[in-house]
Amino acid sequence: AMVAAVASALVLTLLLRNTKAFLIGLSVCVIAGVGMLMVPGALRLTGMQAELHTRTLLWKVALEGFLQSPLVGQGAWAFARVAAASPVIVEVHAHNLLFELLLSSGVLGVSMIGLYFYHNHKSAYQLYKAKKDDGLMALLVSVTMALGLHGLMDVTIFAPQAALFFMMICSVSGL
């Protein structure tokens, strides 16, 4: 989550056309990254392989569930139902936003969500290009990026607070 937050904060400063803040933030990230590489144990890499193995098992279960109903998916909270058949999996979601959406909504649902985001971001980009609302575009892209990057390993958007916050940001982009 920290990598997603830092990366999206850097993108936010860049889209706000604040080059000085972007360069300072990037410099701090580079210095902190080098420092963490130099201090043994600072990156907490122990257990990373086991964690990745667990996530891979979750993603495999989600993909197999998606393939059972690829067009329309299996409905809300489908992963918990699909995973219940596995003696190994005790998680209630797939720990990957794309797999979770494909399993729940299928290709049709994910396509509709994709079209919504395309048009939403397109209208925000038009405002940005016309220099009418740089802040909105910057906020929309950086929050989408944070949720997307974090969504590679978890499903934060399913938390009501994150979802409501994101929906509010998306709703002001002119749709």
- pLDDT for 80-111, tens place per residue? 888 888 877 778 888 898 999 999 999 999 99
Closest of 70, 144, 81 to residue 109, by C-alpha: 70
pLDDT tens readout for residues 113-130: 999 888 888 888 888 888
29 CB neighbour count, 10 Å cutoff: 15
Average pLDDT in the chain: 85
The structure's pTM equals 0.78
CB 99 within 8 A of CB 59: yes
Reading the block at residue 169, the tokens are: 């940001």
CB within 8 Å of 76: residues ≥ 6 apart: 104
pLDDT value, residue 109:
95
What would the two tokens of residue 15 be? 């889209």
CA 74 centroid distance within chain = 21
- Unique residue bearing structure tokens 């043994």: 40
Q: Does the pLDDT at position 166 exceed 70?
A: yes
pLDDT at 173: 63
Model confidence at 40: pLDDT above 80:
no
What percent of the chain is modeled with pLDDT above 90? 30
Question: From CA 101, how far away is CA 85, in angstroms rounded?
Answer: 19
